[in-house]
Amino acid sequence: MTLDDLELFRIQFEDVLDGRRMIGAYGVAIVCTADFITPPVDDPRLFGQIAAANSLSDVYAMGGTPLAAVAVCMFPKALDPDVAREILAGGQDKVHEAGAAVVGGHTVRSEELLYGLSVTGRVHPKKVMRNVGLRAGDALVLTKPLGSGLIINGLRKGVMDEERARPILLELARLNKAAAEVMARFSVHAATDVTGFGLAGHALSMAVGTSGVSLSIECDKLPQYPHLREMVEAGVTTGSTKPNRAHVAPKLRASLEKFWDELVHDPQTSGGLLLSVDAGEANALVAALHDAGVSHATIIGEVKSSDEAYLELR
């Protein structure tokens, strides 16, 4: 951590505490999250960037602005110190891009390499975005493609080569910052980031947590990374896909071919935001997201009035 980092954090933290500039009549809420992952790629700096983007997403999904991050490191004893430094540098790249500061960290010895962040952010208490509160008639918007689990496991199994995977991995390192900033300008009623439980798991949790709604998603509208059918045809899957499928099965209404079944249950690393937005603003939201560089943002379905919470995939 540098002196510049400390100064940035001091200024940001004073902004939170300074009632004249930040607190006003309603105050400021603090959000705290933590997440870490195993390496999806051999490049240590890119691993650090992807892991950090993944950790920061929780704050963005709540409508927050990251302030400070603490590195969470589980490093094997045999890990080369230069590799460890590159992982940490990659994480710092993304924290700085988010406008926050890395203010410390903790390292333990582990047989398996894991890295991530505990992130503290600020949000106006009347503008906290939750993963419940969807309204019947809302449109569902997804901001990043699906299929990162298939691509990562395809790399591990040698079905996917690094040259073709590189553009996809760089997309995983992209922050959800722009998407969160655009989201704040529209009537978004609920949001979540799509990560380890897959699209189906995270979407269903939004419906279950909101009284009187179900979700309907059209599979052919789902944005997806390239080369995914090749991965599925080669038998690539993930260790989390089967439990993800079992978790949503009781409330899933679908008859899916193998490809779509794999895709909707595929665990995502540094996935996009799933937004429930007033249908009358959905097209404008997607257009604004595209203008902000969130080029894959797509309307994928709708929220319906229902006595039973379920997820319909068509």
CB 219 within 8 A of CB 301: no
Q: Is the pLDDT confidence value at 308 over 80?
A: yes
* Sequence-ordered strand ranges (E) for 110-221: 114-123, 139-142, 188-193, 213-217
CA separation for the pair 9, 275 (Å, rounded): 30
Q: Is the pLDDT confidence value at 12 over 70?
A: no
Query: Which pLDDT value is given to residue 18?
Result: 46
Question: Each residue of 222-244: b (16+ CB within 10 Å) or e?
Answer: bbbbebbeebbeeebbbebbeeb
Q: What is the pLDDT of residues 183-240, one digit of tens each?
A: 999 999 999 999 999 999 999 999 998 889 999 999 999 999 999 999 999 999 999 9
Find the radius of gyration of the CA atoms of the chain: 20
Q: What is the pLDDT of residues 50-69, one digit of tens each?
A: 999 999 999 999 999 999 99
Q: What percent of the chain has pLDDT over 70?
A: 91
* pLDDT band at 20; cut points 50, 70, 90: very low
DSSP state of 174: S
Span 97-101, average pLDDT: 97
Residue 107 contacts by C-beta under 8 Å, 6 or more apart in sequence?
71, 73, 74, 75
Residue 200, Cα to own-chain centre: how many angstroms?
14
Strand partners, 311: 215, 252
Mean pLDDT (the chain) is 91
DSSP state of 20: I
| Strands, sheet with 311-313, edge to edge from the N-terminal-most edge strand | 188-193, 273-277, 139-142, 298-305, 213-217, 311-313, 252-253
CA separation for the pair 212, 199 (Å, rounded): 20
CA separation for the pair 255, 264 (Å, rounded): 12
* pLDDT band at 26; cut points 50, 70, 90: low
* Sequence-ordered strand ranges (E) for the chain: 29-37, 65-75, 101-109, 114-123, 139-142, 188-193, 213-217, 252-253, 273-277, 298-305, 311-313
Strand partners, 146: 224
DSSP state of 23: I
Q: What is the pLDDT of residues 117-157, one digit of tens each?
A: 999 999 988 888 999 999 999 999 999 999 999 999 999 99
What backbone phi and psi angles, to 5 degrees, belong to 33? Answer: -140, 165
Q: Is the pLDDT confidence value at 17 over 90?
A: no
Span 29-36, average pLDDT: 91
Question: In order of start, what are the domains of the chain with their CATH numbers?
Answer: 3-123 (3.30.1330.10), 139-313 (3.90.650.10)
pTM value is 0.88
Q: Is the pLDDT confidence value at 42 over 60?
A: yes
Span 10-32, average pLDDT: 56
Residue 267 contacts by C-beta under 8 Å, 6 or more apart in sequence?
149, 195, 196, 197, 198, 238, 240, 241, 244
Exposed/middle/buried for residue 82 (C-beta within 10 Å: 0-12, 13-18, 19+): exposed
